[in-house]
Amino acid sequence: MANLYLAILNAILYWILLLITYSKHKRITIGVFITAVYAIIASFCVVSVSSEPNKWSLTLWPFIYLFICVYLLLKPMLANSELNIRVFSSDYLFYKKIATIYILLSIFSSAVYFPVAYDHIINPQWVDLYSESHEVKESNIFIKVSNLFFHLRYLGLVLFFYFLTFGATRKFQILLGISAVLPVLLVTICNASRGGVVALAASFALSYFLFSRYLSRKIKKILRMLLVFLSPFPIIYVVAVTLARFDPSVSYVNAEDSIIYYLGHSMLMFNYGLVDTINLYWYGGYMLGLGDLPYNGTHYGTDFFTIAGAIYQDFGPVFTLIFTFFISIYFTKIFRKPEIGVPELFLIITYAMLIFNGVFVIGVGYGIQFIEAFLVYYILKKFSKKKIYVRNNRILSTPVSSN
C-alpha cells in the first residue's frame, strides 16, 4: 500500500499546482495546459500502481525532487500568461518570405514521405512498421533534405498563427496551415507512431493559447469548427494503431492495459528505475547525443523517465537542480519581455514542447534541437531591427500607446 500512497501524494502535488495556476489566470494558458498534462499523467501513475502494486518499490524523495524540477521548468509559463505580442521585422514581408521557404520544405518533405505513408495506409501492418522504424536510418539524400523541415516545424506553427492574427490572404493561411501539419502526419504514419499525433495536437494547442488574445472571433470560430470536423481522424488512427500493436493474439498486453501503462509509468520509472540505482553520469552525453553511452546502473529499459530523468542522467542530483534553475531564470526573462515577436514565440513554443514531451521522455540529442532553435532565434533577431507595430490587425509605422 505504501507504493499507492506515494503515487497518490505525487498526483496531489500536480493537481494542487494546477488549481493554484488556474485560479491565478482564470483561463487556459500554455502553463495551465502543460500543468494539466502533468497532473493527468500523475493520476495515470496511480492507476498503474493500483493495477500492478508489486511491480514498483517507490520512495518519497524522488517524487519530491521530480516535482521541484518540473516546477522550475514550468515556472516561466506559470508566472506570466499575458504575452505582449508585437510585430518585429525589418519588413512585414520578411516573415512571408520565411513562410514561403517553410512551405517549399514542407512540400518536398511531403512528396518524399507520401508514397511510403500511402502504402502503409493501404496495407497497415502497424506492429512490423513500428519495429522497423526503430531500425531504419536516413537512407538517402532525399530523406535527409526532407528532414530539414522537422528542424523548423515549430517556426511554421508560429508563422501560421502569426498570419492568422496579423493578416495574409486566406489561401496563404490555408497553405501554411496544411504545410505545418502534413509532413508530421505522414512521418507519424510511416513510423506507426502514436506520440507523433499527440505532439502535433499539443503544439497546435499551445500555439493557439499563445495567440488567443489576438485572434478574431471569426478565426476562433473557424478553428473550433475545424477541430470538431478533423478530431475523429487522429483518434481513429491512434485507436487502430493501438489495437493492432497490442492484439492479444500477438502480444502479452492488451490495448487497454498498454494505454494505461503508456500514460502512467514515466514518473514511476524516474523513481524506481532511474534514481534508485544510477551509479554513473554522462556529463551532457545524453543531451548532446555523444555516441554510445556507457551503462549507468539504471533499470528502466525502454520505458519513459521524464525530462528530469534525462537531465539527471547527465548531471546528477545537485547539478540537475542548478541546471533547471538557470533554465527557468532565462525563460522567465523571455516571457517577461515587454514586447515579444516571432523569434521569441518560436523559442517559447520550442521550450514548451520540450516540457510537454518531457512528461514522457525526450530523446538522445535533445540539446541539439535547442542549439538549432537558438541559432534560428538569433538569426531572426538580427533581421528584426526595425519595429512595426500592430493595432486591430493593421500595421502601423509608429508605436501604439497602451492607454
235-264 burial: b if 16+ Cβ within 10 Å, else e: eebbeebbebbbeeeeeeeebebbbbbbbb
pLDDT at 292 over 60: yes
235 band by pLDDT with thresholds 50, 70 and 90 = confident
Q: Are 263 and 194 spatial neighbours (Cβ–Cβ below 8 Å)? A: no
Q: Are 360 and 266 spatial neighbours (Cβ–Cβ below 8 Å)? A: yes
pLDDT of amino acid 288 = 94
Q: What is the mean pLDDT of residues 253-267?
A: 85
Rounded Cα distance, 358 and 356, in Å: 5
Averaged pLDDT of the chain: 85
pLDDT at 306 over 70: yes
pLDDT at 389 over 90: no
Distances (CA, A) of 174 to 109, 170, 195: 18, 6, 25
pLDDT of amino acid 255 = 72
- The angle at the Cα of 276, spanning 48 to 306, to the nearest 5 degrees, equals 55
Tell me the per-residue pLDDT of 50-66, one tens digit each, with 9 for 90 and over: 999 889 999 999 999 99
pLDDT of amino acid 79 = 78
Strand, helix or coil at 389? Answer: strand
pLDDT at 240 over 90: no
- Predicted TM-score (pTM) of the model is 0.89
Least confident of 39-53, 222-236, 282-296: 222-236
pLDDT of amino acid 388 = 47
pLDDT of amino acid 397 = 43
pLDDT at 88 over 60: no
Highest mean pLDDT among 116-130, 135-149, 201-215, 233-247: 201-215
Distances (CA, A) of 295 to 62, 304, 363, 367: 21, 17, 16, 20
Rounded Cα distance, 247 and 243, in Å: 6
pLDDT of amino acid 43 = 97
Residue 57 CA from chain centroid, whole number? 30
